[in-house]
Structure 1
Amino acid sequence: MSTSAEIIDVPLLIVGGGIAGLATALGLARKGRPAHVIERAPEFGEVGAGIQLAPNAMAVLDSLGVMDAIMKDAVLPQKKRYMDAVTGEEIGTVDLGPEFVEHYGYPYVVTHRADLHGALLEGCRASDLVTLETNREVLRAENLPDGRAKVVCADGTEYVADAVVGADGLRSAIRPLIVEDEPVPSEYVAYRGTVPIEMVPADAVETPMVLCWLGPHMHLIQYPLRGGKLYNNVAVFRSDFYSPDHENWGTEEELDARFGLCCDKVREAGQYLNREIRWPMYDREPVTTWTSGAVSLIGDAAHPMLQYLAQGGAQSLDDSLAMVDALVTEPNVEAAFKTFEARRAPHTGNIQRLARVAGELFHIDGVGRALRNYSFKDHNPTDYENLDWMFMPLSVAGDTRNYPY
């Protein structure tokens, strides 16, 4: 016996209730536009621990009215310090203090992903213009002859909308409508762990900072969270046993072997990591086309990037700002999506490519490692020239960001 599928008609459908999707919905609501958000999971939530938010991200959060909520438990690191993971010696420092804030207009912030996501979710729930649904696994999207679009779910439910925004991440179900490609494995894997600050030696947290330990085919990122009550650790390393045909790579034995070559402080961080979950790292090749008719991609669905520049979340927030601006100013959906794509794709493509280069620089060994360390030894901590193209708020920089590489 056949049953007819439920068809739900909405003006604008956002597929994915992560950072990009909720920020776009909230941004549209603040402009008086409705949005309907569907999420695959049983409830809205964010997986992971810490996230770094550069000034471009903070500017968007301010425009969405959630910056105060985020700052309640956030930490403002005073510097980002790059260290040699083998010798324990400093490579270089970026000053994130008052001069940095004056330069960009916003601080550099570290916070828990759940806190960021929660602030966006509460903003959406407080608006009568945002509706939220869970348990909606999307199979595909289609453009319709009348200029609208359809999204088909695994349970047979179909959504018809004037516009569909695919914010469903690295393995987007919306992306195949626009580009046929696959995620690219980096052969690196991450282990994460968040521990009470009391577990960490006092000298490591005396001045709040982002510590970046760089070593041969590995690195470790550390910084405080939740107002300094927690300490976040992310350990990343290349697996010698990577294979696309099996999952037995990036094991904790490899983790210990790789970090066993490092200085005491890095080796000791192994006790802070959750050994039960590992996170294989993927991105995709940059593409210049994110839209098809009444369907567009945003965030990791459009431009998943490796984490070495700490800009994945920030670029999703920048996307939301540009998407909302295009939808409220352009005469129709297709024009809005094309404007959004033209404004954002070249910039995020540059960041995707540079993130890969940064990974090589982080993990280089031998003579290359010595040359890297030497080249940064006289770096001026308050020289932000090479960061402006990424960190300057989109509302200030507009489309004039100059890619310096």
Structure 2
Amino acid sequence: MVGGGPAGLALALGLAGDGHEVVVLEQSPRFDRSFRGESLSPDGVWLLDRLGVLDTVVERGALVVERLEIAENGRVVMSADFADYPYAQRYPMEIPQPTLLAALAEAGAAYPGFDLRQGAKVTALTEEDGDVTGVRYRGADGEERELRARLVVGADGRYSKTRELSGLAYDKQPLERDVVWLRMPRPDGWQRACYRIRLQGSRHGLFIPTYPDDIRIGFNIPKGGLKELRKGGIEQLHRRIDEIAPELSQGLRESVTGWSGTTVLDIFTVATPEWSRPGLTLMGDAAHTLTPILGQGVNHALIDGHTLAGLLDRPLRATGRRGSELIRTATLRFQHQREEAVRISRGLQMRQERAFTYDNQLAVAGRSALYRIMNRSRYLQKRVLCSAYFQLQPELAR
């Protein structure tokens, strides 16, 4: 596995638990990276339970989210209570990514076939007769090494090096906006367990509760617009958030005093028509990069890893050419099983992306009307939110 994020570690844990030997090459020497995805849908929480790490994650610190609220020009136009959904795991969770990754890595380390190598940078693929046979990488000690494998899995994220090296065609679509992320203490009076989306014309902000008692804020700027924003100094950033969440004004100025407390996410999607070739497959953001809307990236990464592990168990037990053929069939079946769910999430995200950037007065009015209709119709609300949060779990009878 190239990449020790949620996708790579979930796959490695599953395969090691089935008795296979796996090596995870992770470029970063540590898990404590800032401004990474922390949102897990109820399906993602359910899957962590099946992987046997949910209790560990909760003990170390996670925040349960109970509600979703969308406000337009300061007035709530839609709210949803996750308690209303009949599933075993019905609440999203916010889990610091270092906590999640450490729990997956520790669970994997309990099996003798699990080998995590951090600080390892992949530099090339090795091939024989058109089949990928392994990788070359630079270890944490700076030494160049070669690693042979029956299957190389690119799980190295939205800027995937494996995708570039693979020669697989892909379509990268930049969106018209970037997102500035920052973090601040949760203000008094704000419910701790609520996702908030604030809209004002073509501007929007995401306000995500974050363990232990902070909020992460993401607000849109035009694509490549950071330089223009920074011309006005940090006060320009403060004013942008004042427009959509004025009650944060004082706390924001006390906690975010410079640009070092922010990061910018370049928003784009990647669609890879073919996720695999003989000896190699992509998964997670490497195969299908999504946007931050509704926090889908980590969930699809975990589900990809869990799904692929189940498909590879028997093929990896076969040897020789027959084994290679079965592995190839498994990677094709993996894409077939997963791409429809990814397509649904991408479609939902793109519709929301367009709606969030309306600047025409008539379009904005229509957007507000739609959210109000959804607020009054439990059927419509359930249909939309279930496509984002409840694709995996069986619904419980009531």
Aligned counterpart, 2:8: 21
- Give the distance between the partners of 1:164 and 1:240, measured in 2 at CA: 34
Aligned counterpart, 2:227: 248
Aligned residues of 2:179 and 2:219 also touching (Cα < 8 A) = yes
1:52-63 equivalence runs, <5 A:
52-63=39-50
Q: Is 1:179 equivalent to 2:168 in the alignment?
A: yes
For residues 166 and 312 of structure 1, do their structure 2 counterparts lie closer, same or farther at Cα, with a shift above 3 Å needed? Answer: same
- Give the distance between the partners of 2:24 and 2:229, measured in 1 at CA: 35
Unaligned runs of 5+ in 2: 316-322
Aligned counterpart, 1:316: 301
- Give the distance between the partners of 2:137 and 2:171, measured in 1 at CA: 21
Name the stretch that deviates more: 70-79 or 186-195. 186-195
User: Partner of 2:10: helix, strand, or coil?
Assistant: helix
Q: Is 1:283 equivalent to 2:268 in the alignment?
A: yes
1:279 shift after superposition: 1.7
Q: Is 1:350 equivalent to 2:373 in the alignment?
A: no
1:269 shift after superposition: 6.6
1:108 shift after superposition: 1.8
- Give the distance between the partners of 1:188 and 1:254, measured in 2 at CA: 18
The letter for the 1-side match of 2:174 is P
The letter for the 2-side match of 1:230 is D
1:313 shift after superposition: 0.5
- From 269, 281, 287, give the equivalent of 1:296: 281
Aligned counterpart, 1:375: 370
- Give the distance between the partners of 2:31 and 2:342, measured in 1 at CA: 26
1:373 shift after superposition: 1.0
Aligned counterpart, 1:262: 244
Aligned counterpart, 2:219: 236
1:250 shift after superposition: 5.0
1:394 shift after superposition: 2.8
Taking only the aligned residue pairs, the percentage that are identical comes to 22
Aligned counterpart, 1:48: 35
- Give the distance between the partners of 1:114 and 1:361, measured in 2 at CA: 33
1:315 shift after superposition: 0.6
1:294 shift after superposition: 1.0
1:22 shift after superposition: 0.9
Aligned residues of 2:174 and 2:267 also touching (Cα < 8 A) = yes
1:110 shift after superposition: 1.9
1:287 shift after superposition: 2.5
Name the stretch that deviates more: 22-31 or 142-151. 142-151
Identify the structure with the greater helix proportion: 2
- Give the distance between the partners of 2:300 and 2:393, measured in 1 at CA: 13
- Give the distance between the partners of 1:255 and 1:231, measured in 2 at CA: 19
Aligned residues of 2:341 and 2:391 also touching (Cα < 8 A) = no
- Normalised by the length of structure 2, the TM-score is 0.83
Aligned residues of 2:169 and 2:273 also touching (Cα < 8 A) = no
For residues 28 and 249 of structure 1, do their structure 2 counterparts lie closer, same or farther at Cα, with a shift above 3 Å needed? Answer: farther
- Give the distance between the partners of 1:307 and 1:291, measured in 2 at CA: 25
Q: Is 1:334 equivalent to 2:328 in the alignment?
A: yes
1:140 shift after superposition: 2.9
Unaligned runs of 5+ in 1: 1-13, 398-405
Name the stretch that deviates more: 25-34 or 141-150. 141-150
- Normalised by the length of structure 1, the TM-score is 0.82
Number of aligned residues: 370
- Give the distance between the partners of 1:386 and 1:354, measured in 2 at CA: 8
Aligned residues of 2:180 and 2:221 also touching (Cα < 8 A) = no
- Aligned-residue Cα RMSD (Å) equals 2.7
1:135 shift after superposition: 2.2
Q: Is 1:191 equivalent to 2:180 in the alignment?
A: yes
